[in-house]
Amino acid sequence: MDTLEQQFDVRYRYRVHLTEDALAPENDLLARTLAADRAARPRVLVAVDRGVLAAQADLAARVESYARTHALDLVDAPLVLPGGETGKNEPRHLERVLAAIERGGICRHSYVVGIGGGALLDLVGFAAAQAHRGVRMVRLPTTVLAQCDAAVGVKTGINAFGKKNFLGSFAPPWAVINDLRFLDSLSVRDWRAGIAEAVKVALVKDAAFFERLERDAERLLHRDRGAMRALIAHAARLHLEHIARGGDPFETGSARPLDFGHWAAHKLEQLSDYRLRHGEAVAIGIALDATYSRLAGWLADDAHERILALLERFGFELDVPELGEGGLLAGLDEFREHLGGELTITLLGAIGRGFEVHAMDEERVRASIDRVRARPGSGSGQPAARPCASGAER
Ligand SMILES: NC(=O)c1ccc[n+]([C@@H]2O[C@H](COP(=O)([O-])OP(=O)(O)OC[C@H]3O[C@@H](n4cnc5c(N)ncnc54)[C@H](O)[C@@H]3O)[C@@H](O)[C@H]2O)c1
Ligand SMILES: [Zn+2]
């Protein structure tokens, strides 16, 4: 039998920009991003998150006026999609994006621009990855979580069969434009939720960043733009570095260090019927796996206390009913199945130092749940601190 061997590398390159007011007529960053082929008028389909539109009523008009100023060929009025998990849970929204791409004649040299939270970008990105086997996608993330984590990476996806991100693809974006102005209308909840992903990446990779988050906690709670800008810039950088230099950008192995705390988080989101935001569930997952690391003797007591205290300072509710209902442990096997191969969970040896294990002791997981639930302030159902905010609580 003859055997031919095939091997090639594909190089990806994309930029993650941090700007203010990307849709202001004088800000030409987005226009330059869409002018890569120097086509006279780049064809563009814009998809927007209904939650952003509700909070920033002039958004569609700003998009249309920007397109006129910069000679972009908007193939249609912006496509409005539900924000949050609804868009990822109901397959008809994926069809709607695909139909809009088809109707608009978007080709592989045209662009889909997504404006919204991590969920909207996952949905639109997945559609863009499928149409014509992949059309260019520019992401304009509008939440803290998406700007520092979800939008800067290479993954897209929607939920199916009751499982998070069951359908999806690895599809690097054409570019990411983080616009701090979008964050102005975020609810207190979503401002806070994204901070959990920054705490996560600090814990597994960067002790100095964790210390900075401790120092900046008050400013972040008071919605200080400078502190948030620094958080987003650094967390995004750590995510990008991991993808580029971690040796496994498309996650073919079983390890996924940036998913620290996520085995529990994904299951809690599902068990709560998506009442919990991803970031809120991640905060609980971090608390559980830090506590597990403490109970196993890998993480020092004072480090464990600092981690839980910081999460509490940010106002995360660490005790939720789903923790007491059983069912969480099934998240371990679902996580293993999602990653493939052997169970691989990241735990903490110290603040800033994650390491991997391939088995979790169920009794110790239960003890971790009990320890987290028993913390003063976590059982009240009330966040430990109430951040001041300019955005309304929704
Ligand atoms: N692809 C990845 O690598 C990756 C990584 C992390 C998380 N995620 C996914 O991201 C999702 C979570 O994203 P998220 O935390 O950004 O929340 P989200 O997308 O669920 O949005 C939360 C809510 O905020 C609203 N919203 C968004 N921007 C707003 C703004 N500027 N003003 C007012 N309201 C606004 C939305 O309409 C929604 O109601 C989850 O589905 C998670 O699985 C993906
Ligand atoms: Zn996450």
Q: Is 44 in the pocket of ligand 1 (CB under 6 A)?
A: no
pLDDT above 90 for 388: no
Centre of ligand 2 from the C-alpha of residue 325, in Å? 23
Cβ 186 under 6 angstroms from ligand 1: yes
Q: Name residue 45's beta-bridge partners.
A: 112
pLDDT at position 316: 97
Dump pLDDT digits (tens) for 104-130.
999 999 999 999 999 999 999 999 999
The residue whose C-alpha atom lies closest to atom 15 belonging to ligand 1 is 145
What pLDDT score does 387 carry? 41
CA-to-CA separations, 158 to 81, 137, 255, 313, 357, in angstroms, rounded: 14, 16, 21, 32, 28
Rounded to an integer, the average pLDDT of 121-148 is: 98
pLDDT at 39: 63
Q: What is the pLDDT of residue 392?
A: 38
CA angle 209, 211, 216 (to 5 degrees): 90
293-303 residue pLDDT tens: 999 999 999 99
pLDDT of residue 339: 84
Whether 4 has a pLDDT exceeding 60, the answer reads yes
Q: Which domains does the chain have, with CATH numbers?
A: 15-185 (3.40.50.1970), 188-373 (1.20.1090.10)
Query: What's the rounded Cα separation, in Å, for the pair 192 and 190?
Result: 5
Ligand 1 mean position, distance from CA 243 (Å): 21
**Is residue 385 predicted with pLDDT exceeding 50?**
no
Closest ligand 1 atom to residue 153 Cα is 3
Q: Find the mean pLDDT for residues 271-275.
A: 95
What integer pLDDT is reported at residue 394 of this predicted model? 36
Q: What is the pLDDT of residues 198-257, one digit of tens each?
A: 999 999 999 999 999 999 999 999 999 999 999 999 999 999 999 998 888 988 887 788
Lowest pLDDT segment from 94-103, 131-140, 199-208, 323-332: 323-332
Phi, psi of 141 (to 5 degrees): -70, 145
pLDDT surpassing 70 at residue 379: no
- DSSP class of residue 150 equals I
Report the distance separating Cα 227 and Cα 180, nearest Å: 12
* Mean of pLDDT values over 362-368: 96
Query: Do 176 and 17 meet the contact criterion of CB atoms below 8 Å apart?
Result: yes
| Top mutation candidate among 90, 94, 152, 190 for ligand 1, by most atoms within 8 Å of CB | 190
pLDDT digits (tens, 9 = 90+) for 47-105: 999 999 999 999 999 999 999 999 999 999 999 999 999 999 999 999 999 999 999 99
